[in-house]
A and B are shown apart, each in its own frame.
Chain A
């Protein structure tokens, strides 16, 4: 094992941190305004992250994991992980994960060449955003309709529901006389029959329910082969889960730093509150929680990047990090006292983000249940 980052990763982390830090148009101040608007004014207002998005394109971030022939930078999954952690640290708008990591990489690995050409360069240059419309259940169904297929159903609380240019839709598609299977489609927003109802959520952002009503689709729009979407979707959701973990790892690291700096300075009873042992022990527990989250998350990311079976590690990472991040933000609030509850303070952005990330791509309980199934089958998490 080697726990050190490569020099490229260190460089990327440094650049990302600088670009996303305060005083930069890409930075936390900007993000703060966006988040604040999104959280309090509703999705229709305050969501202008276009400037941010185009800067991310200029920095090469939007094409980071794509090969150069699709306008990308050819980065590894571990490089991407570093960037995702830094975006989380700045609670940056969450469209990146959906567009690049979840949909973009699925198109890259599984779509036909035409679809890759259609979407990847356009994602990389910042002109297209994609989002996943799937809930892991059977919310969207495909029905034969003449020679084509028709999609009906809906998925609640889709990310970037209104602003996305295309949706990666997972539909239950049942071959004749056989068990239900899954087929994936890439549908443009303007496709007739797609309707979006915006929903306000605690973490803000462009969330909404996406409904498909008699949407006619053809083989051209399929990602992967017909009936073979389940494993692709599984892989897509694993990447999404790890991306959410990385977001929490970054965000939790920022919370720990903010809190530590604050309690070291805030004086009550004639001494810094950070010198009280009750406060110190909370801070120590937060540090351990985030350190643990980071290791288990990077292990899962590494396995995904290496193309190894990561089902167990992803479930562990998502279950643990979702729990740990909640503990960390709750203690963070406790240690800030009243000021952390004020909207002008960043702490609430981090709490809100956790409400979203903990649920995205499966919550802790769901992942524990999945993990239990794997453990029951394998008998051990550590086969030799």
Chain B
């Protein structure tokens, strides 16, 4: 084992920071963290990522990428998330999730048509998996895609489709064969969001992040939109979900640093917070856990970079990081005392209310993208081999 960070990785980190210092304006950050997540400034920023070749960083050279190892994408995501920039979460679904899947399963035509535009940051996607009656149990999804001889005709409803209001395409999971057992009859499609019959309605969340319901009413989807084989969708979705599981800790490390800083300069009852033994221990404990999270996340990036397939490690990362974030956020608002109640954006709120909103957003993370309970099931059954 070797825990050293090679100079070339450090250099890439510096290069990203230099880029962010000039390109990541306050406006872009505000927009990226806003309810709607993205509009013109954010889209410009994503295009600049594309101009640098950073969206297609890890794609093979003959597919228009830079052929860099997954570690570089990890470092990029880590820095983006640390800086609250768009491109790492909630946005750039095309670059982060769709493109790697297309490289594995996409048709030549799909790759030719979509990859260059994804790489340039011109188009984005929204994920359409969850339905009212299919959350953790995705295999029970009911949206139907029926082949009528010319087209698939899609009818159904997708819930919590984040980014569907600005996405150009929907990455849609729908049932093509209702006679097959649950996992068997599902296919994946790339659907143009402008297709007649699609309606997007906002869902406003307590995290101040918009998500959506997407209604499909006899939407006609061409054969070319099918990704991979018909009824192969669940396997492709699993691959996509595991790609999504590249977790970074840039945001958590920053919060630990902000907390330390806050505790060092804030007085309460005549002494600094950091001089209180329970505060000291709690900060030390959280710093330890974030360091562990950092190692967990690096391990997955290393596996992906060196051609190993993250199995249980990727599940452990999701579980550990999201639960840690909640502990960290809870500690942060507790440290603020009564001021912790001041809402994000309130002038008097410490750090502009960052911790307050961080707490609300942390509650979401142990749910979205696979709940903690599902992660524990997976660890117990697939990793430890316990019987179902």
What residues make up the interface of A, taking CB atoms closer than 8 Å to B?
A: 1-5, 78, 256, 260, 263-264, 271-272, 274-275, 277, 279-281, 283-285, 287-288, 291-292, 295-296, 298-299, 302-303, 306, 313, 315-316, 319-320, 365, 368-369, 371-372, 375-376, 379-382, 384
Closest-by-CB residue of B relative to A298 is B1
CA distance A291 to B316 in the complex (A): 9
Q: Is the interface of A mostly helix, strand, loop or mixed?
A: helix
Closest-by-CB residue of A relative to B292 is A292
Q: Which of B4, B10, B281, B379 contacts A372 (CB 8 A)?
A: B281
Q: Is the CB of A275 within 8 A of B387?
A: yes
CA distance A258 to B285 in the complex (A): 29
Q: Which of A263, A298, A379 contacts B261 (CB 8 A)?
A: A379
List residues of chain A with CB within 8 A of the CB of B285.
Answer: 319, 368
Q: Is the CB of A375 within 8 A of B1?
A: no
Binary interface profile of B, 364-388, with partner A (CB < 8 Å = 1, else 0)? 0000000001011101110111111
CA distance A281 to B377 in the complex (A): 7
The answer to whether the Cβ of B289 comes within 8 Å of any Cβ in the partner chain is yes
Q: Is the CB of B386 within 8 A of A263?
A: yes
List residues of chain A with CB within 8 A of the CB of B277.
Answer: 369
The answer to whether the Cβ of B253 comes within 8 Å of any Cβ in the partner chain is yes
Closest-by-CB residue of A relative to B312 is A287
Q: Which 5 A-B pairs have the closest CB atoms?
A: A280-B380, A372-B280, A284-B379, A284-B376, A371-B284
Closest-by-CB residue of A relative to B14 is A384
Choose, from B98-106, B107-115, B293-301, B349-357, the stretch at the interface: B293-301
List residues of chain A with CB within 8 A of the CB of B302.
Answer: 1-3
Give the residue among B5, B257, B284 with the most A Cβ atoms within 10 A. Answer: B284
List residues of chain A with CB within 8 A of the CB of B153.
Answer: none
Q: Is the CB of B257 within 8 A of A379?
A: yes
Closest-by-CB residue of B relative to A381 is B287
CA distance A5 to B102 in the complex (A): 34
List residues of chain A with CB within 8 A of the CB of B292.
Answer: 292, 295-296, 316, 320
Q: Distance in Å from the Cβ of B250 to the closest Cβ of chain A?
A: 10
Q: Number of contacts between A and B (CB, 8 Å)?
A: 151
Q: Distance in Å from the Cβ of A83 to the closest Cβ of chain B?
A: 15
Q: Is the CB of A369 within 8 A of B385?
A: no
CA distance A271 to B291 in the complex (A): 40
List residues of chain A with CB within 8 A of the CB of B377.
Answer: 277, 280-281, 284
Q: Which chain B residues numbered 2 to 39 have a C-beta less than 8 Å away from chain A?
A: 2-5, 10, 13
Q: Can you name 27 A-B pairs with beta carbons within 8 Å? A: A1-B2, A1-B299, A1-B302, A2-B2, A260-B384, A275-B387, A275-B388, A277-B377, A280-B380, A281-B373, A283-B386, A284-B379, A287-B312, A302-B3, A315-B284, A316-B291, A316-B292, A319-B284, A320-B289, A368-B280, A369-B281, A369-B284, A371-B287, A379-B261, A379-B264, A380-B260, A382-B253
List residues of chain A with CB within 8 A of the CB of B380.
Answer: 274, 280-281, 283-284, 287
List residues of chain B with CB within 8 A of the CB of A384.
Answer: 10, 13
Q: Is the CB of A292 within 8 A of B280?
A: no
The answer to whether the Cβ of B256 comes within 8 Å of any Cβ in the partner chain is yes
Q: Is the CB of B257 within 8 A of A380?
A: yes
CA distance A321 to B12 in the complex (A): 33
List residues of chain B with CB within 8 A of the CB of A315.
Answer: 284, 288
Closest-by-CB residue of B relative to A257 is B384
List residues of chain A with CB within 8 A of the CB of B274.
Answer: 372, 376
Q: Is the CB of A280 within 8 A of B284?
A: no
List residues of chain A with CB within 8 A of the CB of B332.
Answer: none
Q: Which of B2, B253, B260, B306 contacts A376 (CB 8 A)?
A: B260
Q: Which of B2, B283, B299, B303 contacts A295 (CB 8 A)?
A: B299
Q: Which of A1, A285, A288, A291 contacts B4 (CB 8 A)?
A: A1
Interface residue tally of chain B, by bracket?
Answer: 35 or more
Q: Which of B281, B299, B306, B384 contacts A284 (CB 8 A)?
A: B384
Closest-by-CB residue of A relative to B300 is A3
CA distance A283 to B302 in the complex (A): 26
Closest-by-CB residue of A relative to B264 is A376
Q: Which of B13, B316, B381, B388 contacts A288 (CB 8 A)?
A: B316
List residues of chain B with CB within 8 A of the CB of A287.
Answer: 312, 316, 379-380, 383-384
Q: Which of A283, A368, A379 contacts B284 (CB 8 A)?
A: A368
The answer to whether the Cβ of B320 comes within 8 Å of any Cβ in the partner chain is yes
List residues of chain A with CB within 8 A of the CB of B294.
Answer: 382
List residues of chain B with CB within 8 A of the CB of A281.
Answer: 373, 376-377, 380
CA distance A375 to B380 in the complex (A): 36
List residues of chain A with CB within 8 A of the CB of B373.
Answer: 281
CA distance A303 to B1 in the complex (A): 11
Give the residue among B13, B253, B320, B387 with the most A Cβ atoms within 10 A. Answer: B387
CA distance A376 to B306 in the complex (A): 37
- Say yes or no: A274-B264 contact (C-beta < 8 A), given A2-B302, A368-B285: no
Closest-by-CB residue of A relative to B298 is A1
The answer to whether the Cβ of B319 comes within 8 Å of any Cβ in the partner chain is yes
List residues of chain B with CB within 8 A of the CB of A5.
Answer: 1
Give the residue among B256, B384, B385 with the most A Cβ atoms within 10 A. Answer: B384
Q: Is the CB of A368 within 8 A of B281?
A: yes
Q: Which of B3, B13, B291, B375 contacts A1 (CB 8 A)?
A: B3
Give the residue among B277, B280, B283, B292 with the most A Cβ atoms within 10 A. Answer: B292
Q: Which of A264, A285, A320 contacts B385 (CB 8 A)?
A: A264
List residues of chain A with CB within 8 A of the CB of B4.
Answer: 1, 306
Closest-by-CB residue of A relative to B275 is A376
Give the residue among B274, B287, B383 with the most A Cβ atoms within 10 A. Answer: B287
List residues of chain A with CB within 8 A of the CB of B298.
Answer: 1
List residues of chain A with CB within 8 A of the CB of B2.
Answer: 1-2, 302
CA distance A260 to B386 in the complex (A): 7
Closest-by-CB residue of A relative to B373 is A281
Q: Distance in Å from the Cβ of A211 to the closest Cβ of chain B?
A: 33
CA distance A135 to B306 in the complex (A): 45
Closest-by-CB residue of B relative to A365 is B281
- List 6 additional contacts besides A260-B385, A260-B386; criterion CB under 8 Å: A264-B386, A280-B377, A296-B288, A306-B4, A371-B287, A379-B260
